[in-house]
Structure 1
Amino acid sequence: MTPEDRAGGLRERLRNARKILRSRRRLERLNHILVPEKKPDRDRLRRSWRWRFMAPAFILYASLSRDGRGLLLLTLLVGLAGVDINQSQVHLLFASLAGLVMGSLALRPFFRAKGVTVEVETSARVSVGAPQRFLVHLDHRGASPVLALRVSSPFLPWDGRWSKQPHGVAALRPRERATVVAEARFSARGEHHLDAFEIGVLVPLGLAVGPRRVSDGARFLVVPKIANVVDLSLEHRVPERQAGHVTSRAPGESDIVGVRPYRPGDALRHLHARTWARTGVPHVKSYVSEQSERVGLAVLVDGDEVTDEVKEATISLGAGVAAAIVRRGGGIDALLIDDRLTQLASRSGKAALDGVLDRLATHVLEDVEKPCDGALDALAPELSTLVVVSAHDGPSAAIDRLRARGLPVHWLRVVATDEVSLPSNVRHTRIDHGVIDRGEAVAA
C-alpha cells in the first residue's frame, strides 16, 4: 500500500468519525452496538456459541426480581469486602445474603404460572416520539388461582425508552382475564420487532420469579412525525398526458358538474361565458370524471452535505405536506424518494396518507446522493403540479428544467438553523429544521 493510499484511508476514517460525532442519532446507536437491531439477528445471536458461553449469567439475572437483582449486587460487594476472613466477620454477612439468593432460586420450580397464557396487542403504526401502548392480556385457563404475577417488558432497541412499565397482577382466578398496560416511545423511523413480554409468579420473599411464560414479539412500524404544515397553496396546469377521458355520468345526463378557474392548457371550447361575465375571471366547465389535479411529491434527502437531523426533518416535512394535501381533499398520485418512484394505489384519503407514511418510514438514509433527474423528467408529463421537499440544492437544475416546460413546482428546502439567515433563493422556500422538530406551524 502506497503512502497516498494510507493517507486516503485515514482521511476517510476521519470523515466517518466526524459524521458520527456531529450526529446525535449515530452516537445513541453506538450505545447498543453489541445488541443486534433486528429481532431475527437477536434470535440468531441467542443460538450462537457466544450466547451459550454467556447464557448462565443472563439466566441468573432473568430469574431474579428487581429486588433480587439489587440484593445480588449487594451480596457481591459484601463478598469483596469479606475476602480477608481473618480480620473481619463480613464473610458471615456474605454467606447469609448468598443463602437468601440461592434459596429463592431453589424455590423457583415450585411456583409456576400454570394455565396462564399471555398475548400482546399493539397498534400497527405509531409516529416518532408518540407513545406506543402495549396491552398485555393474561388469560387464565387453569384450575387453581395464580397469585403474585409479575410482567417483564422486553429490552428495547437503541431508539426506544419505556415511559410506563407494566405492573403485576395480585391474583388471577380460573377463567379470569387481566390486562396490563405498558407504554414506550421511539425516536427512529422504521420497522420494529420487539422481543417477548414475560410473566412469572413471584417466589416468597420477592427475590426471584418462577419459570416464565412468554408472548409473541410485538411488531409495528414507526412512521415519521407529521410536520405541522398549515398553509399549502399549489398552482396546477392541465397534465400533458391525461389519465382518462371525459365521460358522462349516464346516457342522456349532463356531464357538467360545475365550473372552475381557467388554467393554461384548458380547451377554449370549455369556457363558461356566463361565469366569466359575472366574475370577470375566465372559467371553464368541470366534468364528472375529470381528474386534472395530479400531484406528485418528491422527497430528496440522501447525500453527505447535511446532518442526519436535517434529513429527518426533511422526511417529517414531506409527511406534513402529504397530510396537508389529503386534508384539503386533494390526492397524491406519485411519491419519489431520491431515485425510487412509487405509484400510490390509493391517491386520496387516509389510505393515500398511510401509503406515503409507510414508504417514508422504511427509507434508509445514505451518504451518497442519488440522481433524481431521470425520474422527475419521466413523471412530469403526468402531473398537474409537483411538490419537492429537499435537504440540499441537488435538484435545482431539474426543477428549473421542469418549470421551463410549464410544470408548476413548489420547492421546500429544509436547512440547518445557522443557514436560515443566509440570502434566500427565490426558487425555493427555506424552512428551519428546528421549527419542524419543535412542532411549530410551517407556512409552506
Structure 2
Amino acid sequence: MASTTTRDSFHSRLGFILAAAGAAIGLGNIWGFPTQAANNGGGAFLVVYLIVTFLLALPALYAEIYIGNQAQTNPVSALTKACGERFKKIGHGAGIIGIIGAIMMLSFYTIVAGWMLAHALASIAQLLGLADIAQWLSTSSTLRNIVFTPIFIVLSAAIVHQGVHGGIERWSARLMPLLLVMLLGLIVYILQQDGAQAGLTLYLQPDFSQITEPTLIVSAMGQAFFSLAIGVGAMMAYGSYIPKDKNLGGLVISITLLDTFIAFIAGLLIIPALFVAQHGGQEVFADGKLIDKAQLIFNILPTLFSSMGTGGLLVSFAFFALLAIAALTSTISSTELPVAYLVEDKQMNRKRATWIISTIVFVASMLLIAFFDQLFGLVIQILTTILQPLMSLFYFIVVGWIWQRGNKLTNLATLKAQPKLKLLGFYLRFICPVLLLIVFVHVAFQQ
C-alpha cells in the first residue's frame, strides 16, 4: 500500500536534469569510456558510440523514466501497476530484482569510490611531506578498504536522507557544476603537456576502416547502454519525482546529451594523459591495447602526476577528487531506489529507511572486501552483463506489450491524435528489444 503523504519531488527542470545526469555520470563515463575508446580505434569508437547512444540507450532511458513518471511511485509499485492484474506478481518481482541490483551496485561502487578518495588524500599527504601516510593511502589493502568504504556509504546516506529536493536536487546542483569545472581545468592542463597531441589525434581523427569491426561495435553498444545507469530502476524512481507527462522526451534528451558530453570531454583528458605518460617513458600500450586498466589509473597516472612536481600533485588531487565526485552522484541515485520503496510501500520514515539501506550496503561491501578475489569481479559481471540488460529488456516489454490502461504509447486514441507517439511506441515495442538482445548476447557470451 502506497503512502498517503505528499511525495517529495524535484522543484525545477534543471534540478531533475542535473540529478538524473549525475546518476548516469560516474566512473563509467570519466574512466570507462575513454579507456574503451583508446582500446577500440579512438575516434572510430566515438562515432559508433554516439550513434548507438541515440539508437538504443536514449529510448531505454525514456522507457524507464516513463514508467516511473506515469505511476508517480517507486519502481516496485510502478512495475506492479504497469503489469496489471494478470502480471502484477512479475512486475513486483522485477521491481525487487531492481532493488537487489541497486544494492549490488552500491556494494562494489562504494569500494571503488573509496579508492578514489584515498588516492586524492594521498596527494595531499605527499604535498605535506607525510610520505608514510601517502604510501598507505595509495597502496591497496583490506584495511584501507575497511576505512574508506564506510566513508562513502555515509556520504551518500547523509544526502539521501535529506530528501529529494533538500538532499538529492540541492547537492546535484552543487556537485555537477563542480565536476564540470574540475574536468575542464584538468583538460586545459594536460593538453599543454608534451605528448598530449598524439592522444588528441587518436581520439578526434576517426579511422573509418575500423568502424565495421564487430568488437568495436559491441564495445560501443555496451558502453553507451551502461553509461546511462539504465536497468536497476534508479531512473524510474527519479522519473516519479517530476510532474506527470511533463515533456519527458525533452528531459531525456537533455540527460543523454549531458551524459554524452561529459563522456566525450573525459576522453579529452584521459587519452591525452595516457600519451603524456607514454611520452615520459612509461609503458601504456602493449600489442596495440592498453595495459591493465587498474594499473593505468592507480599506477601510471599517479606516477605521471608525481613527475610534474608540486603542481602535478595538485593535479593528482583534483583528478581523483573528480572521480570521487562522479562516483558520489551515482551512489546517491542507487541509494534512493530502495529508500523510496521502504518509505512508500513499507510506511517507513525517510531517515530510518536511509540508514537501514546503508547498513545493508555496508554489510554487502564488507563481504566483498572479505572475499574480494572470489566475489568482486563476479558481482560486477552479473550486474552489468546480465541483470541490467535483462531488466531494460523487461522495461521495453512492459511499455510495448504488457501495459495496457494508461499507457499513452500504446493507447490507440492517443496515437491517432499524436503521430509522434505512435512512431516512438513502435520503436520501443519492436526495434529496441531486438537491438538490446544483440547487446546482451554479445556482451554476455562473447566478451
Report the TM-score, using the length of structure 1 for normalisation.
0.21
**Structure of higher CA gyration radius:** 1
